[in-house]
Amino acid sequence: MKIPLRRISIAAIATLVVATGAACSGSDTETAAVDLPAAPAEQQLAGKCPNTVVVQLQWEPETDSGPIFGLLGPGYRVDADNNKVTGPLVVDGKDTGVDLEIRAGGPAIGFQTVPSQMYVDQSITLGLAHSEHSIAAAGQQPIVAVTTLLRNSPQLLMWDPKTHPDWHGIADIGKSGAPIVVSQGQLYPDWLAARGLVDPKQIDASYDNSPSRFVAGPSFAQQGFVNSEPYVYEHEVRAWGKPVGYQLLRDVGYEGYARTVNVRADRLNELRPCLQRLVPMIQRATAQFRADPSHVNAVVVDVVSKNTKFSPYSAELAAYGSKALIDGGLIGNDTDGAVGSFDIARVQRVIDEFAPILRRGGANVPNNLTADAIVTKEFLDPTIAVGS
């Protein structure tokens, strides 16, 4: 049985990386080169952006980062040694004059957070993050979100409906007193406890990303993502092979944004000419992905297939994941009617809820942190929207 990397232990990941790293030494594959027409002058990024726009993902390539892959043109090269893919940055199939490099996160960067990686590696132009991670980093590694790929979080808690027929949501899990198994570094469990939805004693941060414990005895609740685990457990974890019950954090009041697209705060002025043109392109790519994700699905599946260090990512999982994000309303216009935008009052509520929690955990969150310190709508095109 093949288990995606998100679901195997860190020790197993380390072993896999060593083993496959030798096998992939010097590995560099590319799709057929294509002569692309030039984008119009107003969409040319050469001279405005770095010659290579580098995007740091939170995890391996998956369709929840789909709009970024929608900007990756044909002729891209997969560098398995360095867990990245590079190709022309395109808009509507036209060459903008610069390259796009998409780098995997998670095991590929030693499980570092994206903000910390952005401050270690100056070559990173944009990094993806969750709202609460931006808040946690605000004191020492501040980043500013310029758009977002998802307007709601795909994070969830899952359970076995046969073992727990009385569980219909997260509140029921809390009332039961059963363990809630999550991986280290997750910030939302403390938020659930602060809200009174669960008891802090229920939180078990020993999740090793393997399905084996859940399969062996699902007496507990477990973390997951709506675009992944419900399909994987039913169709790809053969030892399980049946539906799971779940509820999204969004549905119990979690308002944090997911897959925000960020720059380092100290590079905002430097990158302003680039962002003025690039951010609307990302918005359009998000709208196009929501309208028809098939092209992005195919690109992501192809990129993953060319790197044996990545988790297997089937076409079926890609299609399911994209549909779950779209049908679940996780991609779409914000309250101002624009796709990829932010509700500033909502961002402030997230800060007000998470800042005290993070401070208690030791994070250096500035006092009186405001939404405009971690998000900006300066570069957004308010006319770019998706249909209902």
Between strands 203-204 and 77-79, the pairing is: unpaired
CATH class of 26-152+256-373: alpha beta
- What pLDDT is stored for residue 16 in this prediction? 32
Q: Tell me the DSSP string of 229-273.
A: HHHIIIII-TTT-S--EEEEGGGGT----EEEEEEEGGGHHHHHH
Q: Name which of 134, 79, 122, 131 is nearest 102 in CA terms.
A: 79
- What pLDDT is stored for residue 12 in this prediction? 34
- What pLDDT is stored for residue 24 in this prediction? 40
- What pLDDT is stored for residue 20 in this prediction? 37
- What pLDDT is stored for residue 34 in this prediction? 76
- What pLDDT is stored for residue 23 in this prediction? 38
- What pLDDT is stored for residue 369 in this prediction? 97
pTM above 0.85, yes or no: yes
pLDDT by residue for the chain (388 residues), tens only, comes to 333 333 333 333 333 333 333 334 346 776 666 789 999 999 999 999 999 999 999 999 999 999 999 999 999 999 999 999 999 999 999 999 999 999 999 889 988 899 999 999 999 999 999 999 999 999 999 999 999 999 999 999 999 999 999 999 999 999 999 999 998 778 899 999 999 999 999 999 998 888 999 999 999 999 999 999 999 999 999 999 999 999 999 999 999 999 999 999 999 999 999 999 999 999 999 999 999 999 999 999 999 999 998 888 999 999 999 999 999 999 999 999 999 999 999 999 999 999 999 999 899 999 999 999 999 999 999 999 998 5
**Which CATH superfamily, name and number, covers 155-252?**
Periplasmic binding protein-like II (3.40.190.10)
End-to-end CA distance of the chain: 40
Residue with the two structure tokens 């977002």: 148
Q: Indicate if the alpha-carbon torsion angle 302, 308, 311, 316 is positive or negative.
A: positive
Residues whose CB falls within 8 Å of the CB of residue 366, separated by 6 or more in sequence, listed in order? 138, 139, 373
Residues whose CB falls within 8 Å of the CB of residue 113, separated by 6 or more in sequence, listed in order? 129, 133, 136, 137, 185
Residues carrying CATH 3.40.190.10, the chain: 26-152+256-373, 155-252
Residues 168, 140: contact at Cβ < 8 Å?
no
- What pLDDT is stored for residue 19 in this prediction? 36
Distance CA 290, CA 299 (A): 15
